[in-house]
Structures are given as C-alpha cells and as structure tokens.
Amino acid sequence: QQQVKQSPQSLIVQKGGIPIINCAYENTAFDYFPWYQQFPGKGPALLIAIRPDVSEKKEGRFTISFNKSAKQFSLHIMDSQPGDSATYFCAASRGSARQLTFGSGTQLTVLP
Amino acid sequence: DAGVIQSPRHEVTEMGQEVTLRCKPISGHDYLFWYRQTMMRGLELLIYFNNNVPIDDSGMPEDRFSAKMPNASFSTLKIQPSEPRDSAVYFCASSWSRGDAFFGQGTRLTVV
C-alpha cells in the first residue's frame, strides 16, 4: 500500500527532446505528489509538486500530468538540456507531516 | 538561511564502532526527517520528529539505530554498533507542517 513504482530506471535523450518519467501508486490516502531532482553528491531538491485535484501543473520546462482514476502521474521535461542530466524521484505523501514515500528513481542523461 | 546542514559529509568507520550523524534543520521548521539512500533500497524514511518529538520510527532498521532531537535546531542519528550493511548516504530533511521538505547534502557513511 505504501509503494510508489517508477519507470524507466534510466533514460537517454538528445538535447531538445522531451523525456517522460512515469509513476504509479496504490494508496489512495496519498494527497500530495512531489518530484525531486538529485545531482551526484547532493541531496534531493524539490522540482515541482501536484495535488490530486488538478490534472496538470506546469512550472517552466517541467510539467506534471496526474491521472487520479488510474493512480498514475508523470513528469515531462520540455526542451531538455544537458544540465537536466540528474536522477529524478517521484514521491507521494499525506497528512500534515508530508513524510515522503519515494519511487526508485530515474537516471536521466541528456546528450548535447 | 543556509538550508539544512549535516555533518560530517563523509564518515569512514570500522565495524563495531559507534557513529553519530548530525543535523541542523532550517530555522522555524517544525518537522525533521531522517532518510537513508542505498542502491538496493533507494530512499527510505527512517524516522521523523514533530516539534522535537519522535512521531514515527517504524523505518528504523534495528535497535542499533537511535535518533534524538534535544532542541529545535539539532538532531542526531546514532548507530551503535555499526555494521558494513549500514553503509549508505543518510539525509536529513526539514519542513513546515504541510510544507515541502528541504534536504541536506547528506552524510556518506562507509563501515569497513
């Protein structure tokens, strides 16, 4: 019930491409879904987040699509750049504590 | 604010020794979380505090692990005795109630 499944494990795109990372969850009590970006040797950093009452949220080149009935959400990176090369984690949380249940991560490489 | 500060950044210790990891959360945050990151298990929540009180320690792997938060600006995670399988990157994060979690840079622990 607590698991968040993330795919793919790794992704390679050319500069300007649109990588898409998918996540699925089981626990319908989750009410907040953030995405974190992690560079080597650094801690995860919040990228963008969504609540289940909206189907899409866009911040700059990053867009989350959310399908509540399917219990799935995805991250799209528009006009990807080599600087976007990092590991991306989806997560789910609930309640006031917002303790995070993370997906397994996607290592993204954007080729110049 | 300097963000969440963790120390040390790297720790190498021998099996059986006591290890203490330290965290200074962002001032004003009332939640503090300890996460562990490994290749096998990904990012997993160990324990979290609210207003310095431990709320959920169900993620702590064994009795060898303990965490304290003596005041709002300091927390420790202790492993005694340490084992090679404890080798991982340990992250501290903090947040406001219903706020996003901000992570520290992590402590890379190696137990030999």
Q: Specify the pairing of strand A106-111 against strand A10-14.
A: parallel
| pLDDT tens track for A89-104 | 999 998 888 999 999 9
| pLDDT tens track for B46-103 | 999 999 999 999 999 889 999 999 999 999 999 999 999 999 999 999 999 888 999 9
First-last CA distance in chain B: 36
Residue A79 predicted with pLDDT over 80: yes
Question: ∠ at Cα B43 (A66, A63), nearest 5°?
Answer: 25
Query: Tokens 């990807």 identify what position?
Result: A80
Burial (0-12, 13-18, 19+ Cβ within 10 Å), B111: buried
Chain B interface test: which of A31, A89, A100, A106 (most B C-beta within 10 Å): A100
**Neighbour tally for B32: CB within 10 Å:** 29
Could you give the 3-state DSSP secondary structure of residue A71? coil
Mean pLDDT, residues A19-43: 96
**Neighbour tally for B34: CB within 10 Å:** 25
Chain B interface test: which of A7, A93, A99, A101 (most B C-beta within 10 Å): A99
The pLDDT score that the predictor gives to residue A96 is 87
CA distances from A111 to A17, A105, A108, B18, B85 (A): 10, 19, 10, 44, 35
Answer whether B44 sits within 8 Å of A102, measured CB to CB: yes
Residue A1 predicted with pLDDT over 80: no
Mean pLDDT, residues A17-30: 96
DSSP character at residue B85: G
Amino acid, res. A45: A
Taking all residues of chain A, what is their mean pLDDT, rounded to a whole number?
Answer: 95
Residues for chain B: how many in total? 112
CB < 8 Å to B107, chain A: none
pLDDT confidence bin for A2, thresholds 50/70/90 = low
CA distance B51 to B55: 10
Contact B6, B89 (CB under 8 A): no
Phi, psi (degrees; rounded to nearest 5) at A84:
-80, -5
CB < 8 Å to A103, chain B: 42
Bridge partners of residue A86, in order along the sequence: A108
Please name the residues in contact with B106: beta carbons below 8 A apart, sequence gap of 6 or more: A42, A43, B6, B9, B37, B89, B90, B91
The pLDDT score that the predictor gives to residue B1 is 65
Answer whether A102 sits within 8 Å of B100, measured CB to CB: no
* Beta strand spans in B1-112 (E): 5-7, 10-13, 19-24, 31-38, 42-50, 53-56, 65-71, 74-79, 88-95, 102-103, 107-111
Higher pLDDT, B40 or A1: B40
